[in-house]
Structure 1
């Protein structure tokens, strides 16, 4: 009698289904025309295969769950990084640095050549998980909104930088008009003066609140014995022996509404950045609340390939 072919995987799985439905090994052997030892062998092998597959599925399920947790954690970091800079932040690049870090280093603005060129980047952009998020969300509006946020931010920082440069030029011009050399520069000896004028001017530009300028000027006084303009309670704002009164007048002109009202473009840029920030944060928050990042990435494809045997 010719020997029967080895049962196929499909056939062995059918035997296991019948066996688990109540058929005995003997009944299976009789109905399928097989030796009972063959039935016994392939039932055992098929059961072992199923146990292995179930274990593998659990491992892959755990791996995919962990992967999703990592993606969601990255989205949370992205959400935390997208924020408006504080109004009193130093928005100018110093002579010894071409970068400004905001939000505890989560966002870095870099000044390129020419000096008016600003590039904003996220601190987590160079991480592998960020790249995997990009792959998952390839067709999601989140990244087009992120690019819009970048452009709005770069425009805002660029205008703030130009604003600061103009203030520095105004201080130098004031010095020339009264006949003293101030050499105003970022990071120089008159840094306190620049900070004082910049900080109060910038707050006024963003709020259009004239009391900010009034209160700033109220804190200024002249000390002729020391030849200085004092920022109360006692900080030397500018040393200018013999020129205290004209310098005081020059500073008040720099802090005047007439001088600052031409910088309304900064407020427009700030409002646009605020809109882009809110839009992007809303989209990211929606992704986070879904508790699942749609799409797939290299890691997902690798896990799927492992499951399919590819």
Structure 2
């Protein structure tokens, strides 16, 4: 984006959102700014996209869908404006770290990884119910707030992206949480992580081959999600499967407790969103404190 096309520091958008600091995204099409809502006196994130108009239509549609989701793990979307030369989405500003920042320093214990990705899957399922895809699921788009929330940033809803691709990206995110590397079989921009190790045929190594002692059931599920020859579950079904595994630390559940993503499973965990309340059942991730220190 050139300075002639988009606003700069100090500019006021929609007579309400003052841009304070450019914090990311200098690829010519998308920028992230920290701003201030001068009417409500609160910090906001402003995601600028250039150009606006028809090119920004998927982004605007996704913003509307995200604003209507009712899950704690999706950032609150406050506004979406298309000014022609550029368009922007205004969402809550999350103080904390991205998942990428955490994984650049250390991996997550399997139980924490399962809970985290299950929360992300909740948000993705809500988007899919609203008729849009996220299209940018990777460690940089998942935020870990200072008040213990797992937050998924606003969706991109890129043309051609499918719900199946979103679910595979959830599998790649789980793999990254466990191993600290990103499997290239799931394309993503700027993950900030090294590529996952592969065998002599170029296949991504199963997670338990990278992390000895990892429960085989967990490694198998992760491998299945990355396998393009298999049809993955829906995001809602996957959330249930992940929480079932989290209860056993990633090991195979007892037969009477086992759940399957192949059957019709009702998520049944959605309620009114409250941005100030941590997701039900989430344990504190000790790594957040380590990163913030």
With structure 1 as the length reference, what TM-score do the two structures score? 0.22
More helix by share: 1
Pick the structure with more strand per residue. 2
Higher relative contact order (CA 8 A, sep 6+): 1
Greater Rg over alpha carbons, structure: 1
TM-score by length of 2: 0.23
